[in-house]
Amino acid sequence: MTAPLDGIRVVDLGQIVSGPMAACVLADQGADVIKVETPGGDPMRGFGPAKGGLSALFITVNRGKRGLALDLRTPGGGAVLAQLVQWADVLIENFRPGAINRLGFSYERCRDLNPRLIYTSVTGFGPDGPYANIRVYDPVIQAVSGLAAMQGGVGNAPELVKSLVTDKVTALTAAQAITAALFHRERTGEGQRLDVAMLDAAIAFNWVEGMYNHSFVDDPPPPAMEYGALGQLWEARDGHTAMSALQDHEFRALGAVLGMSELVGDPRFATLRLRVVNRADWLPLVRDRLAATDLDTLMAGFIEHGAVGGRANAVADVAADPQVRHNATVAEIDHGSIGRVRSPRPAPRFGGSPALAPRPAPHFGEHSREVLAGLGHDVAAIDAMIAAGAVLAAG
């Protein structure tokens, strides 16, 4: 058996998170991904805790790739990238709009070099439009997409999600679109251009519940309570838990967990609508019971009764959570000189192909010689490119 994307070749020109993470998903699924860095290297190499030129963040979104360093401002560096475009099935870039064109690798040129190429451009606001020239990081998209407003709630100041959520959902969106384009190519033989804007990905992702009061255009129904107002963490005796009971049988299960049969039998709480209307009558009772109950007891009850609930783990405790351990969600990568590094295994489990364990991320220019040799360059030619500064190699 082979990995799902075994034999697919990817040139990853991305930096930061959105582009590299999209390529990482493909690498996790078996693609041969070459990460191409410019002489300064990906800025994320030094962001956060780092050892030996590899930060934890960089490893997580660049694992399983081969590393090549090129100076694309030189004729030699550009010539190597042109060879890679001919070699590749997929190219991913997330430069500012127009930047890759100025380097000589517009979609039109790359299509001429390789008509079967899936050419993927990830941008903040899109390839054109009034905001196209604005530099973008995740918080900007959280703000413009309305996600920050959703966190603050109606009438409150907007707040950022403390996660690179729009970077990451854009990466997943791009990876799915790439595999769809590859499937289309299998049927038609045609490559194509893909444009994925972080703004578009974020709005599509958030619309499901965050914008449900703004979906009906003609004769809209009365607005419902904003979804964000329905969720909260509950304080137990020794920490916090998340719970919910949207469906009637879930409310009955929650009553069993808390030993509060009187709630389940009360006609004021018989349906979701009544529970929302009369929430001031049952919320204090539940809060008081939770404050006297420890998390281990709650978790045992959630498991026994099939209720909706879970412990609010501290970040440092996530890897030790019993379900996380059972799922083997967190793996360890032997990263040579920098030691072992934790990284999540790929989330999908393919029943018909082997699971690939997370693999190391490349040091800067680590595979430059290997990649050039694979493109047909001999040792003397590789040495000459390195001496000319067109290629940078580790060691």
Where in the sequence numbering do the catalytic residues fall? 167
DSSP codes joined into one string, 157-200: -----SS-HHHHHHHHHHHHHHHHHHHHHHHH---EEEEEEHHH
Residue with tokens 């962001």, as numbered in its chain:
47
* Six-digit token string for 43: 């800025």
Tell me which residue has tokens 């791009």.
174
CB 237 within 8 A of CB 293: yes
Please state, in angstroms and rounded to a whole number, the distance separating the CA atoms of residues 106 and 90: 14
Helices (H), the chain: 18-28, 56-62, 75-87, 99-102, 107-113, 138-145, 147-152, 165-188, 198-210, 227-230, 248-258, 261-264, 272-277, 279-291, 295-305, 322-327, 368-374, 379-388
The phi and psi torsions of 45 (rounded to 5 degrees) equal -60, -30
Edge-to-edge strand ranges of the sheet holding 391-392: 192-197, 118-123, 90-93, 9-12, 32-37, 66-70, 391-392
Query: Whole-angstrom Cα distance, residue 358 to residue 60?
Result: 9
Contact 320, 25 (CB under 8 A): no
